[in-house]
Structure 1
Amino acid sequence: MFDKIKQKFEKAKGSVKHGDKGVVVSIPESPGLSKKDIYRNRYNYGVNLGGCFILEKWIFESVFDKGGDTEFDAVSAQTNHFSVDEAASKLARQYDDYINRIDWNWVKNEAGITALRVPIGYWHVGNGQFVDGLPFEPLREVYSGAKPWDVLKNLINKAAQYDIGVLVDVHGLPGGANTDMHSGYKNNSPSFFNKSKYVDKMVNVILPFICRDVCINYENVIGLQIVNEAVFDNSAKGQKNYYSRAVGALSQIDPGLPVVISDGWWPDQWAEWLGQTNLTANVVVDSHVYRCFSTEDKAKNANQIINDLPVSINWPRDRADFVVGEFSCVLDGETWNKTSGNRDEWVRKFGKVQTNAFANVASWGWFFWTLQFQYGDGGEWGLVPMVSKDAIPRRPHSSPVIDEHRVKEIIIEHINYWKDKGGDSMEHWRFEDGLRGGVADINAFAQFDNSRVGRWKSLALQRRAQYISRKGDSKYMWEWDQGYQRAIDEFGCY
Structure 2
Amino acid sequence: MHKLTDFFHRHSRSSSYQSLHRDPAAPAPKPEATAFPTEADIYRHRKQRGVNLGSWFVLERWIIESPFRSAAAPGQSDLDVARGQDAKQVLEHHWDTWITRADWEWLAQHGINTVRIPIGYYHICGADASVLNGTDFAEHQHVFEGAWGRITDAISTAHQFNIGVLLDLHSAPGKQNRDSHSGTSAPTPAFFTPQNMAHTTHILTTLARHLPSLPNIVGIELLNEPQPDSHDDALRRWYTDTILSVRDAAPQMPVYISDCWRTDEYGGFVAALSKAPQRLDGVVLDHHLYRCFTGEDVNTRAEAHARALVDANAGTPSMFARVVQNLQSAGGAMVVGEFSGALNPNSLAHLGGGPAEMKARKAYLKAEIELFERYCAGWFFWTYKKESRDLGWGFRDAVEAGIWPGVGLVVRNECERDAGRSGRRNTMMDKALAEHTSYWDQYPGNYEHFRFGDGFVQGWDDAYERFLCAGASSPVPVPELGFKGPWAKRRAEGYVRAKGGAGNVWEYGECFCCLWWCGHGFDDGVDGVCVEHGLIQGVDAARRDFIQIYCEGGA
TM class, shorter-chain normalised? 0.7 to 0.9
1:73 partnered with 2:80: yes
| Aligned-residue offset at 1:387 | 2.6
Q: Distance in 2 between matches of 1:306 and 1:372?
A: 23
**What SS is found at the alignment partner of 1:238?**
helix
**In the alignment, which of 448, 454, 457 is matched to residue 436 of structure 1?**
457
Cα pair 1:327 1:367 within 8 Å, conserved:
yes
- Any idea what the Cα deviations from partners look like across 1:263-286, whole Å, max 9, x if unmatched? 010111122122334356221110
**What SS is found at the alignment partner of 1:257?**
coil
Q: Could you tell which deviates more after superposition, 320-329 or 119-128?
A: 119-128
Q: Could you tell which deviates more after superposition, 382-391 or 318-327?
A: 382-391
1:471 partnered with 2:472: no
Which structure 2 residues correspond to residues 84-233 of structure 1 after superposition, within 5 A?
A: 86-100=86-100, 102-109=102-109, 111-127=110-126, 129=129, 130-144=131-145, 147-192=146-191, 194-203=192-201, 205-214=202-211, 217-231=213-227, 233=229
Q: Distance in 1 between matches of 2:184 and 2:162?
A: 34
Q: Distance in 2 between matches of 1:430 and 1:423?
A: 17
**What does residue 27 of structure 2 align with?**
none
**What does residue 9 of structure 1 align with?**
none
Q: Distance in 1 between matches of 2:62 and 2:542?
A: 41
Identity over aligned pairs, percent: 28
**What does residue 263 of structure 1 align with?**
259
Cα pair 2:117 2:165 within 8 Å, conserved:
yes
Equivalent pairs, count: 463
**What does residue 68 of structure 2 align with?**
64
- The one-letter code sitting in structure 1 at the alignment partner of 2:284 is V
Q: Distance in 2 between matches of 1:182 and 1:330?
A: 19
Cα pair 2:81 2:87 within 8 Å, conserved:
no
| Aligned-residue offset at 1:322 | 0.5
- Any idea what the Cα deviations from partners look like across 1:45-94, whole Å, max 9, x if unmatched? 1011001001111212211112401121122122xxxxxxx321111000
Cα pair 1:318 1:457 within 8 Å, conserved:
no
Gaps of 5+ in 1: 1-15, 79-85
Cα pair 2:361 2:403 within 8 Å, conserved:
no
User: TM-score w.r.t. structure 2 length?
Assistant: 0.78
Gaps of 5+ in 2: 17-31, 328-332, 471-477, 510-532, 545-553
Q: Distance in 1 between matches of 2:235 and 2:150?
A: 30
Q: Distance in 2 between matches of 1:441 and 1:126?
A: 40
Cα pair 2:45 2:487 within 8 Å, conserved:
yes
1:361 partnered with 2:375: yes
**What does residue 242 of structure 1 align with?**
238
**What SS is found at the alignment partner of 2:93?**
helix
- The one-letter code sitting in structure 2 at the alignment partner of 1:199 is M
1:412–1:208 Cα change, 3 Å = same
**What does residue 539 of structure 2 align with?**
488
Cα pair 1:119 1:171 within 8 Å, conserved:
yes
**What does residue 345 of structure 1 align with?**
359
**What does residue 411 of structure 1 align with?**
433
User: TM-score w.r.t. structure 1 length?
Assistant: 0.87
Q: Distance in 1 between matches of 2:52 and 2:444?
A: 49
Q: Distance in 1 between matches of 2:504 and 2:143?
A: 60
**What does residue 42 of structure 1 align with?**
46
Cα pair 1:113 1:395 within 8 Å, conserved:
no
Cα pair 2:287 2:335 within 8 Å, conserved:
yes
